[in-house]
Structure formats: structure tokens, C-alpha cells
Amino acid sequence: MQRAFSREAASVGVVGAGTIGASWAALFLATGRRVTVVDPDPQAMARLRLSIEAVAGDLAALGAGDPRDHWDGLTAAGGDWGALAGVDLVQENGPESLAAKRGIYASIEAVVGPETLIASSTSGLMPSDLQEGARHPERILIGHPFNPPHLLPLVEIVPGRLTAPDAVAAAEAVYRAVGKVPVVLRREIAGHLATRLVAALWREAVYLVEQGVCDLDDIDRAIAAGPGPRWAVLGQGLSYHLGGGAGGLGRFLDVFDAPIRSWWDDLGTPVFDEASKRRLVAGAEALEESVGGREALLRMRNEALLAVLRAPGPLAPGPLAPGRGGEGGAG
């Protein structure tokens, strides 16, 4: 059944006021939408406004707007599910538990109309599993952001078996309207798309540390000083395409066929036991302290991300990016 899903979502519900939910709320608020946040945890609700204020400067610097200019559009509803009545989109950020999310969806569906989209920020659960038992499974899908959602533009849209094409199209339009870069998967798979790629890299990083090839510091510096900046501009496919010279990706694959196969064959399987985890944690904590602690690290990350995101590029969300500055763009 076709439904009139909103492609602007002037009114948005955010379920969960933790790190991800508060970041989503700040973005939606900055772009002038009415935002209703539901979270039964009183401590999370008490931190909501402070969490939004903490990222307001980033959003303003990015040109997305300033959520502090729209405080009158924010409703902190606590555990009042009824406050979601009338919203166009619910962005759900509950615990990574199938049972918990199904309970959340039952509460949402009890108060919203069938034309309200429901998108989950889950990084690992399958949308078809989330749809089981729902009154209107056709409007449920994954809208998985990358952390921090208020800055990183990627949103992975993953439909389930029963998701309506109109729901996917509407979700894509809404995310574009708030400045996101949506990627729609053709079918669901555990971990979606980008998280699987990151997990593959992390797996090999852990293996290299376990084998004594390098420390976590070496891993992070190698990525940040090498492929990281290049990925921010082109991604892996076009990087290899340019690496092939005039012959492009075709020549690259011909020349590096044997070496790539040998590297794949040599990729390791980490033990990832408690001793390995302690070594990784110690490495991360040492890196954090080297830059002055957690708050300094967060600020350094956000300032660097802002610099990257403001730079033009064929795939990055700058002035030349597809879907930006045109219809549905965020400006």
C-alpha cells in the first residue's frame, strides 16, 4: 500500500537521548525542524540540552544552522510516548537489542499514524527482524549514521523485506534535506556497508598488533597520514582508478592482480582474547592522554572533521558533491 510519507519531515521524533540521539536531535533542530525527544531515562533527558549545546558550534561552522536558534522547536518529552503523535519521522536510537527495539516500536506505533517513517540507527541489527510483529512494517527501515551523526554525512539506508519503496525514497529525501549523504543498500546484510569495511580493517589492525608488527599508535598514524586523507576525498575505488594511470582501474587490476591476491591470502585471523584487548585499550588510552585527555581529543577530531567536510571534492559533501547545493540540499 502506498503511503504519503513526508520527504521534508518538518517534525521529527528522536527516541533515545544518548550520544547518537542527542547528535541527531541537534542536527534536525539546526535545520529548522521541530524535534521531540523521548527517553524514559531522566538523566539522559537532563543532559539533552547540554549535549546539543556542545555540538552547536560545529553545526554552525559547517553551515548546517545553529540549533540554539531553534530552542522553541525542541520538546524534551521524557517517557511520554504520546508526544510523538503527528511527527513525520522517528529516528530510533535505543539499545542494540532486538527485543528492546521491538518494544520501542510497539510504543511508537501505538501513537503515530501509518504515514510516519520509522528509521533505526542500529549498526548491526537487520531491518527485517525489526519489522516482525509491527503494525506497519512497510515504513520501518535502517537509517544508520556514522559517529558523530551531526558532522559525518553518511547515512546507510537499509530496507527490510517488507519496506515499501516509497518509504526508502522518502527517507533518502529527508536525509538529503538535512545535508546527509545517503547510501541505499540493495539488500540487507549484517553490519550494513561501511561498518563491514571498517570491521575488516580493524580485524587486520588487531592481528598486526597481536603479531608484534606494530602498536596501535603505529596503526592510527599510518591510517591518518596515508589512506585516511585520500579516502576522505575519493574512496578506495577511485583511488585505485587513479593509481592505474592512463589505463585507470583496469590497468591497476592487471598490474596488481598477483600482489593483491597474495596480500589477501596473508591476511590474519586475530586471537582477540582478553590480553589482546587490554593491550589495545592501553594503546588507545595512551594516545588519548598524549593529546591532553578525552575532551581535547574530541575537540581535535571535530575541528579536523570540519576542515575536511568544508573542502570540495567529487564524493565528499562539499560544493561539488552530488546532491548538495541543489534540490533537497542543505546549503
Which pairs with CB-CB distance under 8 Å and at least 24 residues apart come from 280-284? Answer: 280/206, 280/209, 280/216, 283/209, 283/215, 283/216, 283/217, 284/216
Distances (CA, A) of 330 to 20, 30, 65, 123, 174: 20, 11, 9, 25, 10
Divide the 331 residues of the chain into consecutive groups of 10 and give the mean pLDDT of each group: 85 97 97 97 94 95 94 97 98 96 98 97 96 97 95 96 97 96 96 95 96 95 92 88 94 94 95 94 93 91 87 54 33 26
- pLDDT score, position 319: 34
Interatomic CA distance for residues 178 and 92, integer angstroms: 17
What's the pLDDT score for residue 235? 86
Count CA within 13 A, CB hemisphere, residue 307: 7
Q: 88: closest CA among 45, 34, 39?
A: 34
* Sheet order of strands, 34-38 included: 74-78, 34-38, 11-15, 89-92, 117-120, 140-145, 154-159, 181-184
Nearest to 92 by CA among 129, 42, 48, 145: 145
Question: What is the model's pLDDT at position 310?
Answer: 81
Residue whose C-alpha cell is 537532563: 46
